[in-house]
């Protein structure tokens, strides 16, 4: 018998008490002011945020960021945002991204309860860019905020191959005596630029 058959047979040997799956469609906390809650949650996980009105303003705000001004190598996944000099599609080996200083990319939506942002790597050639850059900047439509994780999953579908993640703050560790240190292996900072009139116009 193969191990697969062996394991399945052992499980099927016995009947277990069943339990219906919960209905989560209305479940979960709702906030009076999602933006306020999101910004506060983001701050609590070590991220910072800027609020601007248009994409053009977002571009300017990002160019003015210290991390961007001091960057040698910048990679932007949003056309006309930031001063990019690394073209991800022109890179063959992801190891070449080792010394990227700043990566700028879009967030699909944010979650008010925990400051997390859904990042979708669809059409992104090297997903390592999200974690290998020293600093990251996420541009997010202010209207694309949901209350909680249940509403977040309402928006997601995993029908096709791909990679996505909830990103909540910069990389961090507390493995040495519970002292929080920002910048473990991945980005040392996360700036979220919330755009009032986002990508739709």
Partner 1 sequence: MTDHAVLAQKFVANSPRAHWHDRALWFVRAKRDLAAKSLPEWEELREHASDIKAHCVAHLADYLEEFTRNAEKLGVQVHWAKDAAEHNQIVLGILQKHRVTKIVKSKSMLTEECHLNPFLERHGMEVIDTDLGERIVQMRHEPPSHIVLPAIHIQKEEVGALFHEQLGTDEGATDPQYLVEAARKHLREKFMAAEAGITGVNFAIAETGGFVVCTNEGNCDLGVSLPPVHIACMGIEKLIPRAQDLGVFLRLLARSATGQPITTYSSHFHGPRPGCELHVVLVDNGRTEILGSDDFRRSLNCIRCGACMNTCPVYRRSGGHSYQSTVPGPIGSILAPARDAAKHESLPFACSLCGSCTDVCPVKIDLHHQLLTWRGEIARRGLLPKSKSMGMKFVSFVFQHRWLYEWSGKLARFSLRVLPRWMIYNRFNAWGRQRELPAAPRSSFRDWYRHRSKNDGGKQES
Total interface residues for partner 1 by CB under 8 A = 75
Tokens representing residue 117 in the block: 């942002």
Q: Which of 131, 143, 196, 197 binds partner 1 (CB under 8 A)?
A: 131
Neighbours of 105 (CB within 10 A): 24
141 near partner 1 (CB under 8 A): no
User: In whole angstroms, how close is the CB of 64 to partner 1 at the nearest point?
Assistant: 26
Applying CB under 8 A, which of residues 14, 79, 90, 201 lies at the interface with partner 1?
A: 14
The torsion region of residue 146 among left (phi > 0), alpha (psi -120 to 50) and beta comes to beta
Site for partner 1 in 21-50 (CB under 8 A): 21-22, 24, 27-29, 41, 44-45
- How far apart CA 156 and CA 140 sit, in angstroms, is 17
In the numeric block, the tokens 């991220």 are attached to 47
Site string for partner 1, 157-186 (x = CB under 8 A): -xxxxxxxxxxxxxxxxxxxxxx-x-xxxx
Instruction: Please provide the distance, in angstroms rounded to a whole number, between the alpha carbons at the two ends of the chain.
Output: 60
Residues 53-92 that bind partner 1 (CB under 8 A): none
- Residues 44, 180: Cα–Cα separation, whole Å: 12
For tokens 């995993």, the residue is: 158
Nearest distance from C-beta of residue 53 to partner 1, angstroms:
28
Considering the complex, what minimum distance in angstroms separates the CB of residue 14 from partner 1? 5
Residue closer to partner 1 by CB (options 25, 200) is 25
């Amino acid at each position: 018998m193969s191990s697969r058959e062996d394991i399945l047979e052992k499980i099927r040997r016995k009947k277990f008490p069943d339990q219906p799956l919960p209905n989560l469609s209305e479940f979960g906390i709702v906030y009076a002011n999602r933006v306020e809650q999101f910004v506060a949650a983001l701050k609590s996980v070590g991220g910072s945020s800027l609020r601007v009105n248009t994409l053009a303003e977002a571009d300017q705000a990002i160019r003015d960021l210290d991390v961007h001004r001091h960057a040698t190598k910048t990679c932007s996944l949003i056309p006309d945002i930031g001063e990019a000099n690394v073209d991800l599609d022109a890179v063959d080996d992801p190891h070449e991204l080792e010394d990227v200083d700043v990566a700028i990319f879009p967030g699909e939506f944010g979650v008010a309860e925990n400051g997390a942002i859904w990042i979708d790597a669809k059409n992104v050639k090297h997903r390592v860019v999200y974690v290998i850059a020293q600093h990251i900047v996420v541009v997010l439509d202010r209207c694309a905020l949901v209350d909680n994780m249940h509403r977040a999953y309402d928006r997601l579908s995993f029908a096709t191959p791909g990679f996505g993640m909830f990103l909540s703050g910069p990389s961090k560790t507390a493995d040495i005596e519970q002292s929080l240190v920002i910048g473990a292996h991945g980005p040392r900072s996360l700036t979220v630029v919330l755009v009032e009139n986002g990508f739709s116009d």
